[in-house]
Amino acid sequence: MQSKKLQQLPPYLFAEIDAKKKVVAAKGIDLIDLSIGDPDIPTHGHIIDALCNAARKPKNHRYPPYNGIKKFREAASEYMAHKRKVRLSSETEILTLIGSKEGIAHVPFVLADPGDVILVPSPGYPVYTAASILAGCIPYEMPLKKENKFLPDLAAIPKDVLKKARVLFINYPNNPTAATANFDFFEETVAFAHRHNLVICHDAAYIEVAYDNYQAPSIFEINGAIDVAVEFHSLSKTYNMTGWRLGFAAGNKEALAAIGKFKANIDSSATAFVQEAGAIALTGNQSCVYETCEIFKKRRDILVSALNKSGWDVTAPQATFYIWAEIPRAAKTKDSKKFATAVLEKTGVVITPGVGFGTYGEGSVRFSLTSPTDRIEEAVHRLSGLV
């Protein structure tokens, strides 16, 4: 019954993992899930209060404007100005999204035509590739290699590929490698996009999930970025709001108008009272963000030091709640699916095989820090001496 395009999609990574989890759980093994990037910490109370108040207002029971309610777009613009020193018009340079995944998935449909190339990082967030295939475009995997600090080597993209490319996806702080990018990289990427007529789509889902005083840059801190770039922001990871479904796109107004036109034909924006609460999240007291990061940081240190003690070679990342780890030499296999399955069967700890994020993710696995700290301690205990 499925269309040819749908049949072309690889099986959804977490559906495969779920099936294996069920088999192991049925044997009575206690599972510790370190596979999914979904914070266990609840949304802060002041944001929930704002939601309850907003839900009582009858105007919020009606359709919101297609591009989002004014209050949320203004809050997003204020956030960009205050935290990122970037001035963006709340009317034309901010667009409300029903979670950033939604906006990201529209990109190949609205900024490219069937047969065009979309440049995607590998390993990378699977939505870039899946959406490209669904739009009839051709995803081209740019390898993110450890020796290049997990940054794509733009000069290595073949000329004929580049000629057909319309969009360049980047994502820093990065999922799944937890790598960060500095100003030089963003500057080079902006210059590259100008030279080759590309739209940069920068996925900034983890821009606020940072440690040790590290501040991740917005691409708009680079001169000329606004002419060639869209940045995708999400409230999910910053404020522990994955279930609320709220984000925004910021940047180039023609690109935003294109996404907005597409959206107006298929959805009617995020729920108005969720947007109103989101405005409070973005402009209210930010200490909840700091508190969340402190929790992740503690978990990061527990996991990193334990892995290093038991034969892995990992460094503590400056951002994101992931640990990206090469499968240790001593392991019987370098096949990330086989390895993750063996870890699950032996220990009940669920980790994500790197190949699920693309060809160049093979040989590594991803640990997520979004389970309670005592469960991470228990996982560490079970993993010690495994390889």
Ligand X SMILES: *Cc1c(COP(=O)(O)O)cnc(C)c1O
Give contact residues for ligand X (rule: CB under 6 A): 37, 99-101, 125, 171, 175, 203, 205, 234, 236-237, 242, 247
In the bound state with ligand X, the residue whose beta carbon lies nearer, of 249 and 383, is: 249
In the bound state with ligand X, the residue whose beta carbon lies nearer, of 202 and 299, is: 202
Q: Kindly report the CA angle at 42 between 37 and 43, in degrees rounded to 5?
A: 100
In the bound state with ligand X, the residue whose beta carbon lies nearer, of 234 and 371, is: 234
DSSP string, 153-188: -GGGS-HHHHHHEEEEEE-SS-TTT-----HHHHHH
**Least distance from C-beta 96 to ligand X, angstroms?**
12
In the bound state with ligand X, the residue whose beta carbon lies nearer, of 126 and 348, is: 126
**Least distance from C-beta 237 to ligand X, angstroms?**
6
Q: By C-alpha distance, which of 361, 352, 344, 356 is closest to 11?
A: 356
**Least distance from C-beta 320 to ligand X, angstroms?**
8
198 contacts 229 by C-beta, under 8 angstroms: no
**Least distance from C-beta 78 to ligand X, angstroms?**
19
**Least distance from C-beta 171 to ligand X, angstroms?**
5
**Could you tell me which residues are beta bridge partners of residue 33?**
350
In the bound state with ligand X, the residue whose beta carbon lies nearer, of 175 and 240, is: 175
In the bound state with ligand X, the residue whose beta carbon lies nearer, of 171 and 341, is: 171
Q: What is the dihedral of CA 261, 265, 266, 271, to 10 degrees?
A: 70
Cis peptide before 173 (omega within 30 of 0): yes
**Per the structure block, which two tokens stand in for 322?**
């992931």
**Least distance from C-beta 356 to ligand X, angstroms?**
13
Residue 135, amino acid: A
In the bound state with ligand X, the residue whose beta carbon lies nearer, of 203 and 276, is: 203
**Least distance from C-beta 179 to ligand X, angstroms?**
12
SS3 51: helix
- Side-chain half-sphere CA neighbours of 166 within 13 A: 17
Backbone dihedral angles phi then psi of residue 210, each to the nearest 5 degrees: -140, 155
